[in-house]
Structure 1
């Protein structure tokens, strides 16, 4: 494992949010914790939304942020979270004398990729964001729950700008399960807010060597992998995390702007436990070939290190691997090897998450670490239990 993973992290980083507005629908009362709805937002500086998520920004501008906020709240009202209630239109009334948990639906980035495929064109549109929970009075992030929405289309000709824009609009405003409002409600339905004594977990480093990055799709970089790894852990373990710290967040260069013009930064506290991911290799091998097809094996190799920065105690530090097979028809003249590597890597991260919950023993037995791996996997499970 690279020794830089043992380096200490700054005491406080900043995560900026550009808040677009508020809406006024209140959830039903009950004896549950209250979360104040803060509205749709962008992470990053105000002038970056147009470059990090241009189609998304244009779609929101065309319909208005209040319209999107209303749809988000309606979805949360139709399927409210089981373990907390959401209130809207209440942030302005807070007097600053106590803590108040707020939630923003924050857009991180969009990825649009067009690839030729067997005489047609594959369009991938992916929107990455997070349900970001923070202390409104203290301006401090509490935890986040990553979200990724994706649309894939196979088209007879390259997609027009209008088509890309329409997909962004559909992802944001679509009332189906694949749209943001229902996807948000689905993800939050069973979410439990961490207890006050829960330990904080965060992915703080993703190292993707340049030589390996060149073998992945152009849209994939370390930040995207970090976001997806956070999402996998959150979804598989039902575990909120501190937001993944991209290099930009660590630099503290992000500002936050509310609709009323106020500007501030949200601080991200130190994590009690940190996760470092290092991608070490991708490989492929032909398992079987016939006149009709060939069967290809793709392998992803990576190292994961989990430690407590304060004590420098290492709970998990293991080389891991994941394999996946793909049957390729002889009539297919082009294979997207980069996409196959990336999908295999994500499958490996998912396998680790499931194994750390005490399941997926078949995958665990295939790992090279032997008895030390099993011992550290048990320690990792105990650590995760402390973060609930």
Structure 2
């Protein structure tokens, strides 16, 4: 029970923006949120299978006489939330309140893969998560901000378990001067806001991945049903949340049953949170990829990696969308003549990321006119984006 209390106190820290209470003699209201620590999304029974390296990392940190939650609190201390106050209170103190808001760093997925390219081994680590806010009393998700961190390393041998675990640690704690998952969670909290009234909800609800796109994906994204769709939904959700500055309901295909979001805190306590119905639905269709050589010299060859997608934003069940357009994007990659083995997926991944980042920035009202002129298929894309921007404002 003590471990659970500590974990939930950690979650409150991120959710501080959600619990308004009187805070000053001038009568201003400061939101207060309880921090419940790090948690894992999905079925608790498959936790060790779905997050093997994250769980090993967490256990090693605890064996060193510290806690993951303490590291998260330290990160929050360096980048304190501007719009709410983080409470150190116990979870029991939340019981009986009209509104008791909690935040948690929820880990959605863990990818640790090794691919062989001739004599080389490429290690890829990707952790995706979210800064989740929920009402403790009603057990309802209020808002969520997705986040992620990827790490790539190359070995001239097969990486060991310790090699992989060391890179997972870097993903959580940061590497090469880049903030890791803990710091990114703190950064999200620093800017997160809690609405004074019920806001409207946005969610990626439908994802389609064509056979051509699936063929370009690495094995870890296509070995199991639904993994590629979840990968695409998370990529789109994070782009929109980050670039448009809006929370977004997590994509839950695969572990949400009856619109319930299971969440297991690291001490073993399970929450079954209710997900709100989205007011606005985003559907994404990854339609194609294309690799085109456009230059060659003695030093090597240049390629354009093109990605193609259709994005639709609409009211669920309604016929007239806010936005409905296909987009294309190309990113260049130079392959040295001495390079025998070429992994195309990182270049495609960069192209996908850039495509959805630019779409999200356009949705937020940022100038992407030059790119849209060549990239968007809809002749009235600017009109569509104006309507979409107004919709985005309703979700903040």
Please report the TM-score for the alignment, with normalisation by the length of structure 1: 0.87
Measured after TM superposition, the shift of residue 344 of structure 1 is 0.9
Rounded to whole Å, the distance in 1 between the matches of 2:152 and 2:267 is 37
- Matching residue of 2:181: 180
- Equivalent residue for 2:7, pick from 12, 17, 21: 21
Measured after TM superposition, the shift of residue 312 of structure 1 is 4.2
Whether the aligned pair in 2 keeps the contact of 1:45 and 1:253 (CA below 8 Å) is no
Whether the aligned pair in 2 keeps the contact of 1:118 and 1:332 (CA below 8 Å) is no
Measured after TM superposition, the shift of residue 156 of structure 1 is 2.4
- Equivalent residue for 1:294, pick from 283, 293, 301: 301
**1:3-37 C-alpha deviation (Å, 9 max, x unpaired):** xxxxxxxxxxxxxxx99934579979774211111
- Equivalent residue for 1:383, pick from 365, 370, 391: 391
The farther-off stretch of 214-223 and 97-106 is: 214-223
Q: Does 1:203 align with 2:204?
A: yes
- Matching residue of 2:326: 319
Size of the aligned set, in residue pairs, is 371
Q: Taking structure 1 as reference, are residues 187 and 26 closer, same or farther at Cα in structure 2, changes over 3 Å only?
A: closer
Whether the aligned pair in 1 keeps the contact of 2:259 and 2:275 (CA below 8 Å) is no
Structure 2: state its 5+ residue gaps.
17-22, 222-227
Whether the aligned pair in 1 keeps the contact of 2:40 and 2:264 (CA below 8 Å) is no
Please report the TM-score for the alignment, with normalisation by the length of structure 2: 0.85
Rounded to whole Å, the distance in 1 between the matches of 2:11 and 2:95 is 20
- 1:1-388 counterparts in 2 under 5 A? 21-23=7-9, 31-64=29-62, 67-117=67-117, 119-173=119-173, 177-220=178-221, 221-250=228-257, 255-257=262-264, 263-309=270-316, 311-358=318-365, 359-388=367-396
Q: Taking structure 1 as reference, are residues 177 and 215 closer, same or farther at Cα in structure 2, changes over 3 Å only?
A: closer
Whether the aligned pair in 2 keeps the contact of 1:203 and 1:245 (CA below 8 Å) is no
Rounded to whole Å, the distance in 1 between the matches of 2:305 and 2:194 is 38
Measured after TM superposition, the shift of residue 256 of structure 1 is 4.3
Rounded to whole Å, the distance in 2 between the matches of 1:337 and 1:95 is 53
RMSD: 2.7
Measured after TM superposition, the shift of residue 105 of structure 1 is 0.8
Measured after TM superposition, the shift of residue 121 of structure 1 is 2.3
Measured after TM superposition, the shift of residue 368 of structure 1 is 4.2
Measured after TM superposition, the shift of residue 333 of structure 1 is 1.3
The farther-off stretch of 250-259 and 147-156 is: 250-259
Whether the aligned pair in 1 keeps the contact of 2:331 and 2:351 (CA below 8 Å) is yes
Measured after TM superposition, the shift of residue 169 of structure 1 is 3.0
